[in-house]
Amino acid sequence: MASLADQLSLLLGPGRVSVTPSDLAAHSTDKWFAANPPDVVVHAESAEDVSKVLRFANENRIPVTPQGARVGYVGGCVPLSGGIALSVARMNRIIEIKPEDGVVVVEPGVITGHLQSEVRRLGWFYPPDPASLKECSLGGNIATNAGGPRCLKYGVTRHYVLGLEAVLADGSIVKAGGRCHKNKTGFDLVGLMVGSEGMLGVVTQATLRIIPHPPMRAMLSVGFGSFTEAANAVQQILGSGFLPSALEIADKFTLRAAREYLGESVTPQGEAHLLVEIDGQPESVKGELQQLADIVRGLGCIVLQEALGEEACEAFWKLRREFSYSLRNTGLIKLNEDIVVPRSRLVDLVEFAEQLQGEFGFPVASFGHAGDGNIHVNIMVPTMDDPAIRERAEEALDRLFHQIIDWNGAITGEHGIGIAKKRWWKDAIPPAAHQAHLRLKAALDPNGILNPGKFLG
C-alpha cells in the first residue's frame, strides 16, 4: 500500500507534499513550547488543493491541522494527533485592493503588516494590529480573531471580515458574506468562522474592510508614580469624552526590565507607564493632544512627552514593542497570558498579580491594552523543564484564570485557547454554551478530523 505522502502527492501533484525532517520539525509547533510532528506536511497553493486534502482526509479519518505563519502563543496549530499539517502559507496573494468599495480580497497566507503597507500607499487603512503583524498571517488572525492596541477605537479582526471562502471538513467549498458593508442574508457564517481556531473549516480567501487612513497621529507618553494613578487616568480620559485609538499601560516590573535592557535614558520614569494615541484630521488632533496633556498633568503625572506625526509616534511605539524583548532579556521564560477584565478591574488585576508573585515566588509583569481591559499578564519562570517549578507555575496560572473568571473576565482576548488554555475552557463558559459548541463541531466536522485535541476535545 502506498504511503500517506505518496497518496497525497498523487492527489495534488509535485512540490506540495513534504516529509523532510526539517519540514516536519518546523510544522510541529508554534511559539508555545508544546510540539508534536505531523506525519506529512502539505503546502497548499489553492482552495482546490485544500478541498482535495480535506475530502481525502475525511474519507480516510486522517487528522488535519491547518497552519499559517505558526506564530501563535497557545499551541493552536500543534498537530497533536500527527496526520497532515496543512499549510496555507504559500497562498499569499493580495488578489484585489479596491478603495472604491472599501475592500481588499486576500489569500490566508498574506502577512498582516504587508497588507497594511500596501493599502497605506493608497491612503487607506487596515486597522487590526497584532504585535506580531510583521510575521503573522491574515488566516491566523481570522482563526483567532486577533486584536492589538487599536481595538479600543477600531475593533478586532471580526469587525473587518466582510466575506470568506472556506473549505469544510468534507472538502466542500463554502462562500459566505461578500463585499458589501451591510449584509443580512441568512446566518452569520462569516462570524462563525472568525475565531474558530481551525476546527470548523479552513479559510482560503477573505474579503476585508478597509477605511480611509487618518491623516494625522499624535501620542502622549506618560509616567505615573503608581499603577493606580495610571489606571485612573484611563478612566478620566474616557470619561472626558475622548476615544483614543490606543491606551496602553505597563506596570513597574515591565518598566524595570526595560530600564535594564534599553537603559534609563529611554525608559519613562515612574512605576507605571501610559501611552495614549489619537488620530484624525490635523487641526483637531493638535487640539485634542493639548486637552489630553492638560488632563494627565492635572492627575499628577511624573513625566509627560508629546509626539505629533508618524515618525514621532513610531518612536513611542518602538519602546512599547521592546517590552516583550526586555522581559526576555531577564533570562526568564515568559508565560504570556492575554486575559481580559472589565476595565474597572485594572487595579484589582495588578494587585492580584502582586499577590501571585508573593505567593509563588515568580515575578509577574503586566502590560497591554488598558482601553479594553486586555492586559498581558506574564508570569516569569526560570524553566518549564523542572517538574517542581512547572507544577508551581501551573498552580499560579490556575489561580490567575479562575480569578479572571470570577471577575466576569475572559481567559483570552487575542491569542485563542488552543491547548495552552484548554483546561480552563469549560469553566469559562456556561454548560449550555459548551454543548452548543460541540453540536456545531459535530455538524460541520462529524468525523472530528479538523485540528483535533484542542479545546473542544
Per domain, the residue ranges of the chain are 94-212, 214-325, 331-416
pLDDT band per the 50, 70, 90 thresholds, residue 143: very high
Strand 202-209 with 161-167, pairing: antiparallel
**SS3 state at 411:** coil
Buried b (16+ CB within 10 A) or exposed e, 79-88: bbbbbbbbbb
Q: Give the Cα separation of 316 and 224 in Å (integer).
A: 16
pLDDT band per the 50, 70, 90 thresholds, residue 33: confident
The C-alpha cell 504511503 sits at 3
Average pLDDT over residues 109-129: 97
Q: What is the pLDDT of residue 324?
A: 85
| Cell numbers placing 19 | 516529509
- Does residue 357 register a pLDDT over 80? yes
Cβ neighbour number for residue 293 with a 10 Å cutoff: 18
Query: In CATH terms, is domain 331-416 a member of 3.30.70.2740?
Result: yes
- Give me the percent of the chain exceeding a pLDDT of 70: 100
Average pLDDT over residues 60-66: 98
- Does residue 448 register a pLDDT over 80? yes
Q: Would you say 251 and 368 are in contact if contact means Cβ atoms under 8 Å apart?
A: no
- Give me the percent of the chain exceeding a pLDDT of 90: 94
List Cβ neighbours of 130 (8 Å cut-off, separation of 6 or more).
112, 136, 141, 146, 147, 148, 414
Average pLDDT over residues 85-93: 98
Q: Write out the CATH class of domain 214-325.
A: alpha beta
Q: Which of 121, 156, 149 is nearest to 278 (CA)?
A: 149
Give the amino acid at 321: R
Q: Give the Cα separation of 65 and 314 in Å (integer).
A: 37
pLDDT tens readout for residues 236-278: 999 999 999 999 999 999 999 999 999 988 898 999 999 999 9
Q: Which segment of 89-93, 232-236, 334-338 scores lowest on mean pLDDT?
A: 334-338
Strand 84-87 with 64-67, pairing: parallel
Average pLDDT over residues 46-66: 98
Model pTM above 0.85:
yes
The C-alpha cell 481580559 sits at 340
Third-level CATH fold of 94-212? 3.30.465
96 DSSP β-pair partners: 105
- Does residue 75 register a pLDDT over 90? yes
Q: Would you say 138 and 126 are in contact if contact means Cβ atoms under 8 Å apart?
A: no
137 DSSP β-pair partners: 111
Q: Is 94 exposed, middle or buried (0-12, 13-18, 19+ CB in 10 A)?
A: middle
Q: Would you say 146 and 157 are in contact if contact means Cβ atoms under 8 Å apart?
A: yes
Q: What is the pLDDT of residue 131?
A: 87
Q: Which of 323, 334, 405 is nearest to 149 (CA)?
A: 323
**SS3 state at 158:** helix
Q: Which residue has the higher pLDDT, 378 or 319?
A: 378
Judge whether 214-325 and 331-416 match in fold: yes
Q: What is the pLDDT of residue 279?
A: 98
Q: Give the Cα separation of 149 and 390 in Å (integer).
A: 31
Q: What is the pLDDT of residue 89?
A: 98
Q: What is the pLDDT of residue 266?
A: 84
Q: What is the pLDDT of residue 435?
A: 96
- Does residue 74 register a pLDDT over 90? yes
Phi, psi of 189 (to 5 degrees): -70, -30
Q: Which segment of 96-100, 148-152, 204-208 scores lowest on mean pLDDT?
A: 148-152
364 DSSP β-pair partners: 379
Q: What is the pLDDT of residue 320?
A: 86
Average pLDDT over residues 139-147: 97
Q: What is the pLDDT of residue 319?
A: 86
List Cβ neighbours of 357 (8 Å cut-off, separation of 6 or more).
363, 364
Give the amino acid at 366: S
Q: Give the Cα separation of 415 and 413 in Å (integer).
A: 6
Q: Would you say 18 and 43 are in contact if contact means Cβ atoms under 8 Å apart?
A: yes
- Does residue 457 register a pLDDT over 80? no
Q: Give the Cα separation of 451 and 112 in Å (integer).
A: 23
Q: What is the pLDDT of residue 265?
A: 83
The C-alpha cell 487575542 sits at 414
Average pLDDT over residues 191-216: 98
Phi, psi of 262 (to 5 degrees): -100, -25
Please state, rounded to an integer, the average pLDDT across all residues of the chain: 96
Q: Would you say 204 and 107 are in contact if contact means Cβ atoms under 8 Å apart?
A: yes
